[in-house]
Amino acid sequence: MVFIMSLFITFEGTEGSGKTTQIQRLARFLTDRGQEVVLTREPGGCTISDAIRAILLDNAHREMDENAELLLYAAARAQHVAQVLRPALAAGKTVLCDRFTDATLAYQGWGRKLPLERIRALNAMATGGLTPDITLLLDLPVEKGLKRALSRIASSSGPREDRFERERLEFHSEVQRGYRSLASDEPGRFRLIDADRSPEEVERQIEQCVLQSLESRPHAL
């Protein structure tokens, strides 16, 4: 059996790309191999960041200024890194995080057109330089993903966290362009996953990617 040391893995993708299902499946896969796994998400992951999440995603907050939005993501991240991510990694756990710094570059940078340099500076402040070992980018046509996300929201009874899903299609296409550009700039960290397949096929691609990444990091085996 493969013994895996502490790893920081992030999941990214446009709306409805299936991240939530897949992150849970990977958590089970790694736990079955003896790994202690922490499953978390951004924005959120702890009390303060969950409160910021509620402000960010509330569809009633349509008037939110885009710099206010950016700063709230950075604030939520700083708290999450300090309170959850760093302690878990220091304790030798593997952390699976649903979205991280790349989401801010893709959504606030490519989507909202805020300067990428400003976002990189805030990301660096919020993370203190903490970078994922592997980033799995779940890629599928934006129209398909949005359809999935909107029908999930329509059938959910929870709080209305759909401020982003309600953005126009061009916004989501720009976010996708951003993600693809980030992935091609950092091929060592990113793995592009074809998410336009059955959940089981996507799951197998992800498991293979994670195992391959581990094989190329001999100290982690």
Q: Using CB under 6 A, list all residues that contact ligand TMP.
A: 15, 41-43, 57, 73, 98-99, 103-104, 107-108, 164
Q: What number of other Cβ atoms are within 10 A of residue 52's Cβ? A: 22
- Residue closer to ligand TMP by CB (options 70, 214) is 70
CB 213 to ligand TMP: min, Å: 22
70 vs 123: CA distance, rounded Å:
10
- Residue closer to ligand TMP by CB (options 4, 38) is 38
Structure-token pair, residue 140: 């599928």
CB 186 to ligand TMP: min, Å: 17
139 within 8 A of 175, measured Cβ to Cβ: no
- Residue closer to ligand TMP by CB (options 96, 103) is 103
Kindly report the CA angle at 144 between 143 and 149, in degrees rounded to 5? 95
**Single-letter code of the amino acid located at 208:** Q
Ramachandran region of residue 2, left (φ > 0), alpha (ψ -120 to 50) or beta? Answer: beta
CB 15 to ligand TMP: min, Å: 6
- Residue closer to ligand TMP by CB (options 4, 202) is 202
CB 159 to ligand TMP: min, Å: 12
- Residue closer to ligand TMP by CB (options 73, 214) is 73
- Residue closer to ligand TMP by CB (options 172, 214) is 172
N-terminal to C-terminal alpha carbon distance within the chain: 10
CB 220 to ligand TMP: min, Å: 26
Mark out the alpha helices in 18-130 (DSSP H runs): 19-32, 47-57, 66-80, 86-90, 101-104, 116-127
Q: What is the dihedral of CA 67, 174, 121, 18, to 10 degrees?
A: 100
CB 190 to ligand TMP: min, Å: 16
